[in-house]
Structure 1
Amino acid sequence: MSRESQTVRIHRQPKSAMQSGRAGAGEWLLEFAPGEPKRLDPLTGWPGSGDTQGQVTLRFPSAEAAAAYAAARGWTYEVAVPPVVKADIKPKAYADNFRFGRTDNWSH
């Protein structure tokens, strides 16, 4: 597949499932579409292909910057807009466990 007809996907990096923080979740990623189907290696049984573009991920601060980069190189791109998720997080303090007039049950 020639580089001029390359298809890329632009999407926002998801929040890590391993931690509760949102660091790095604001970045936009540009990833290449697979150029050829994966096939099983006869020796190891692992899937793989000769397409090295699948290993490349570019990071951008905004979707517009990623789209401009792809357009400047003549690549076809699609932007996956993430759904708006409202974080309903209440700030808590350790001292609230001992406050007077607490209505919640004590857990221990």
Structure 2
Amino acid sequence: MAARIYQTPKNAMQSGKALTHRWVLEYEPTEAKKADPLMGWAGSGDTQQQLRLVFPSAEAAQAYADRQGIAYHVAAAPERKLKLQTYADNFR
């Protein structure tokens, strides 16, 4: 049972940075998804894929994983690049 700890990224549809300070622990899938023959929906018997734990910091998420004996890896948050330009640059 392995898990991935990462920081939630900024929503692409909004300019604000709300909820980007949270850290999430998600379990890696242990079983492949298969299509249901009747409905065609994808599903599996792995119920841990449905679990998503939210923490205020990476250290809190790592401490939880250590306490519970969960193997984990931390995915670093991507660097935010600002593209500073003036409105007039749109018409060059």
TM-score clears 0.5? yes
Q: Which of 1 and 2 has greater Rg?
A: 1
CA contact (8 A) 2:9 2:77 kept: no
Residue 29 of structure 1: how far off its partner (Å): 0.4
Show CA shifts across 1:59-95 (max 9, x none): 11111110110011111000001122244568x9xxx
TM-score (norm 2): 0.84
In the alignment, the residues of structure 2 paired with residue 39 and residue 77 of structure 1 have an alpha-carbon distance, to the nearest angstrom, of 25
In the alignment, the residues of structure 2 paired with residue 43 and residue 89 of structure 1 have an alpha-carbon distance, to the nearest angstrom, of 52
Residue 74 (str. 1) matches residue 69 (str. 2): yes
**Structure 2: gaps (5+ residues):** none
**Structure 1: gaps (5+ residues):** 1-5, 93-103
* Correspondent of 2:9 among 10, 14, 21: 14
**Residue correspondences, number:** 90
In the alignment, the residues of structure 2 paired with residue 81 and residue 57 of structure 1 have an alpha-carbon distance, to the nearest angstrom, of 18
In the alignment, the residues of structure 1 paired with residue 19 and residue 39 of structure 2 have an alpha-carbon distance, to the nearest angstrom, of 35
Q: How does 1:1-108 map to 2 (within 5 A)?
A: 6-87=1-82, 104=88
1:56 partner letter: L
Q: Which structure ranks higher in relative contact order (CA pairs < 8 Å, sequence separation ≥ 6)?
A: 2
* Secondary structure, counterpart of 2:25 in structure 1: strand
TM-score (norm 1): 0.73
Identity over aligned pairs, percent? 51
